[in-house]
Amino acid sequence: MKKITFNLLLLFGVFCFAQTDNNEFDRMVEAEMKSASSLQNLRVNPNTQNYDITYHELRFTVNPNNTTPYINGIVKTTFTALSDMNTVTFDMATALVVSSVTMNSSNLTFNQSNYELNINLPSTLTTGTSATVEITYAGSPPQAEGGFTRSTHSGTPVIYTLSEPFGARDWWPCKQDLTDKIDSFDIYITCPDTYIGVSNGLLQSSTTSGGNTTRHFKHNFPIPAYLISLNVTNYTTYNIQAGLGTLENPYFPINNYLYPESNTATTRSAIDVTVPIMNVFEEKVGFYPYRSEQYGHVQFGWGGGMEHTTMSSMGGWSRSLIAHELGHQWFGDKITCGTWKDIWLNEGLTEYMAGIVVEALDGDAAFVSWKNSKISNITSQTSGAVYLTDAEALDVNRIFSSRLSYNKGSMVTHMLRWVMGDANFFQALRNYLSDSNLAFGYAITNDLKGHLEAVHGNSLSEFFNDWIYMQGYPTYTIIAQNWGAGQAKITVNQVQSHASVTFFEMPLEIRLTGAGGLVHDVVVNNNTNNEEFIVSVPFEVTGVQFDPNKHIISKNNVATLTNEAFELEQTISVYPNPANDEIHIMMPTTTQLEKVEIYNTLGQLMATHQTADFRIDNLSSGMHVLKIVTSEGAIHKNFIKK
């Protein structure tokens, strides 16, 4: 089992009704806020912090036909003591009535109150020692929080769960702490044989007896309690295969459980896109983490979806929803963000995975449109950081901010790709996902930053400070000018929308256009205001465009071409000035240097040079004049010898 010990008020794993197009996306965010708001004051239960969960055997008997959402359960839990303990406490709704608790077939005493089950152990369990208890219970799970829901579809009863973030306790005794992942679990779902049960992991068996069917699923990867799901109705199946299909890593199943009325050619065609999406993700960030089991979708009654590990619960079948939920299997399920403040590690990275699908399956133009839509939403307000403050981490509306956690998080992810280059960026993500200290556990922002920097070979602190921790975005003013044959000068200025950032250092893509549809894109590394760049361009420039491929969050940019006449003197610069021991002359590549003459202020010739770089050690201190003779003519430049 993986455990994290970040000491914050609110801790969490992944949660996400994934977004799709705008209307569905808005409904998803509203649903997330609704499901979390009633639980916002819940904190980690201090009475469950003295042990680690390692294994659950979950046996549930449910009947969707019951007018009351009723459940019978037998839960075996193996745990390891982190300190000497005489009692063990589980989170459990008081409405679920426990009839017995045993250890090694011996009955134990217990009591229930205030959403807790407190069990008295037969003797002191010493630190590092493991034990297993078996809890038998029955009852009607509370409906207010939506962790366990009985509903209908086309008149047929259905039961489904959505435990994110604190709803698992409503239907089984668990450790609700979202930072204690269970190493593995087995789940047995028994229901009338007119229905079938669906859960995470790989189906092991299905047996029918006495009018009931029991289906056994097994999941062998670490998982927090809230990502375990239970679904029961008259599902029909639609099964396909996915994966890159290499000899070492063969195909694996995508098992889909649909309401009969939804199992149509249209729905099946929509689900089929999971295969190319899976291929895109495996190519970019590595093999699907749960290849040895399955991936799949199970239909349920909430809007949007929920990324239950290996079996996403789905309320719709848009491609962007399918892509987002699948992306969570890497970013959220395999590696879970460690705190509310790091929410973008789940939602931003995952939403960018959905953007990568647009790029891969629809092409560059569609991807530019996708990014432009994100940028428009992000810049609809002038403030807001990706990373949350302590106070913001207590505000459900801020945690689930579509503008910042989802959209700005996804565009900042793209900007990291732009800064690092494709090869380095995706390699860093693969390294992050395969880090044994993080995989199937938890991560914070600095964990990702470290992996990005290791591959990039340079610090990304400035980038993270500006784009992750601070607020706002830049507005650029770009002026381009033809600068002699085969060259252009580009001058860059920016202002910031928020005072927390003094300057956004970024590589900028500038598109220069010419007559007859000629296009030439250049990239300049902008680090200061009024910075000038001389760039090669194979035609006379007639137009200029800033950031044509939407690599940067920015707004209200202005790019203009000045018609000022080309002047030789403007194209030649002398540096450093003042100089101590050496002078360098920079000029257009199309201009040839013939000679350089150095004069003192009395007009006396002091030296002659044939190169653009020369030493001035023998000159006296003070003002001197350079006569620079070129193929385009002669100019004069003053410089000071220190």
pLDDT of residue 292: 94
* φ/ψ of residue 560, rounded to 5: -130, 155
Residue appearing with tokens 């307000």: 381
HSE-CB at 194 with a 13 A cutoff on CA atoms is 6
Asked whether the beta carbons of 280 and 231 are under 8 A apart, the reply is no
Q: Which residues, given as ranges, of the chain have pLDDT below 70? A: 1-43, 144, 247, 396, 564-569, 590, 603
In three-state secondary structure terms, 527 is: coil
pTM across the whole model: 0.85
pLDDT of residue 175: 95
Q: Which fold has domain 572-641?
A: Immunoglobulin-like (2.60.40)
pLDDT of residue 633: 77
* φ/ψ of residue 462, rounded to 5: -60, -45
d(CA 96, CA 168): 12
Asked whether the beta carbons of 593 and 612 are under 8 A apart, the reply is yes
In three-state secondary structure terms, 25 is: helix
pLDDT of residue 88: 98
Asked whether the beta carbons of 580 and 543 are under 8 A apart, the reply is no
Q: Which fold has domain 474-561?
A: Immunoglobulin-like (2.60.40)
d(CA 339, CA 399): 11
Asked whether the beta carbons of 185 and 293 are under 8 A apart, the reply is no
d(CA 313, CA 231): 9
Task: Please list, in sequence order, all residues whose beta carbon lies within 8 angstroms of the beta carbon of residue 197, skipping any fewer than 6 positions away.
Answer: 60, 62, 189, 190, 191, 213, 214, 215, 230, 231, 232
pLDDT of residue 22: 63
Residue 80: how many other CB atoms lie within 10 Å: 15
CA distances from 206 to 196, 222, 231, 486 (A): 9, 24, 15, 74
CA distances from 11 to 5, 75, 242, 328, 472 (A): 10, 25, 34, 18, 27
Instruction: Please determine whether the domains at 474-561 and 572-641 fall in the same fold group of CATH.
Output: yes
DSSP state of 500: T
In three-state secondary structure terms, 294 is: coil
d(CA 91, CA 89): 7
Q: Terminal CA-to-CA distance of the chain, rounded, Å?
A: 67
Question: Domain spans of the chain?
Answer: 474-561, 572-641
Residues constituting the chain? 642
Q: Which long-range contacts (CB under 8 A, 24 or more apart) does 34-39 make?
A: 35/145, 35/146, 35/162, 35/164, 35/167, 36/164, 36/165, 36/396, 36/399, 36/400, 37/396, 38/144, 38/145, 39/145, 39/165, 39/166, 39/167
pLDDT of residue 42: 46
